Structure 1
């Protein structure tokens, strides 16, 4: 059974009930297949992946946060990913992170491997034993995931490293960002920073 707010329970635009329902139905299916034994990261990862698979506008679009976590070295390993769902500051990113892991599992090892993994939990196996059923372990999965993530997010990750430093405060900050934006038209952080500063200054037209 799935329970959730009806479409009229909240103000329009407050939440997407269709994506929420799709997410929860995916939980029903995978939890039944695994006898309720899926680890949190895999359960949420599959449901969030299914949201994106159903509709590109659904799911959690946290590519920038994910790339920043890669740069800062704060991204949890797959074996520790369940912990991300117990911390308020990391829950949202953990949903996205887990969905990227599931996407990698499917693309690298096939959809049938994911089904086998889910059923292995239903047979009472723990994660290491379940991964062994698809000829994997945490170390090998992490290594292949890291390589795939660098290929997919590497360019963005590197662009986010070039952040403007030592900018003045107050009105001078906007002018400094304007100058940097002219000098570095391909620097994402500079252009994004200028857009934010323009919006804060009330110039939403220029911020676009």
Structure 2
């Protein structure tokens, strides 16, 4: 099945989603909380990228998300394009208690714009909102940044499982919007692409298969499933 190409019988979609951000912002914790509902205070830094799959039902679509949790360490930065260059969606994560991570999140977006040649469903995520007493980045700053790049926005706490489902739900809805918008624009096969925007970086969409894992990838499969549910965001 082609990425983002629905199966004729059951309206299924499949999308590659990359999770980007600086080291220590909680990318792995967010993914693990979503796919297995687990959380640990001590998570080893990701080497290269970790790969997970997660299926969910959203507005009549059965969508399978291929989640690529990328390394945030600078020494692995050069490897990042290998994982996100064919992505259909991206979570841009920063730590609300570290202003520097917010600035670096903006750098990740600039890199996506320069390296990715397809429309993306984007969601900016301010993580660790349970530590609001240590906040260095206001919710308004996050919202403004997301607005500037045409992305969705939410704040989360992997520790308290707050807003996590909503973040991935937003991404899934964005992917579906891309698919539906394309169907309205063209009678051709979805894999041929078209130009449009819907919570995306404005580019020409090309539906392609994701790159296979490399030796630097921790390849993890998860068969978790969920139906559409939105969880409460941090305030």
Q: Higher relative CO (CA 8 A, sep ≥ 6), structure 1 or 2?
A: 2
TM-score normalised by structure 2 residue count: 0.24
| Greater strand content | 2
| Greater helix content | 1
Query: Over alpha carbons, which structure has the higher Rg?
Result: 1
TM-score normalised by structure 1 residue count: 0.27
